[in-house]
Amino acid sequence: MTAFDRLKHLLDLFRHPVETKKGLKRKSRRQSAAAVFRGSGDTRELLLVTSRDTGRWIVPKGWIEDGEDGAEAALRETWEEAGLIGEILPGGPVGQYRYIKQRARRGDAICDVDVYLLKLLEERDQWPEKDQRRRKWFPIATAIGLVAEDGLKDVIRDAFQILKVA
């Protein structure tokens, strides 16, 4: 992400949702994401994938499809984007964050993302979006430094603390 992209992202965070911005949808849309950790204690790592459009590091996330709840969408997105199979840990989302999804054709959208903890069961070599994304495991501090959304950084910190005391 360039310095200009970071500045634009920061400015977007301070825009009021009802500001008139060409194509910005005023009502927020729901997405679901998975925080997938491996290892234990302070050596625990978090899985990040690159976004298709900008190549920035994110957790697997996406739209909740008809007939799915947030947990099911998080499992599906984790498979499609990262090739991981897992199970959602009980307790519902561990956190939420908001960001502005930039979409050239359909207009930008405000997205509220529920993040679920996922227990890793299997990591596959082939998956639907393998040719469109990179996946990589990072130490927690490194992962926090790589993600752009401040809200996601906070969710990662909180999720890591939850796992430490569990």
**What's the pLDDT at 107?**
83
pLDDT digits (tens, 9 = 90+) for 141-162: 999 999 999 999 999 999 999 8
State the pTM of this model: 0.82
Domain containing 24 equals 3-165
**What's the pLDDT at 101?**
85
Tell whether the model's pLDDT for residue 5 goes beyond 60: no
DSSP 90: S
> CATH number, domain at 81?
3.90.79.10
Lowest mean pLDDT among 31-45, 94-108, 133-147: 94-108
| Structural domains of the chain, count | 1
pLDDT digits (tens, 9 = 90+) for 53-104: 889 999 999 999 999 999 999 999 999 999 999 999 999 999 999 998 888 8
Q: What is the DSSP string of 107-154?
A: --EEEEEEEEEEEEEEE-S--TTTTT--EEEEEHHHHHHH---HHHHH
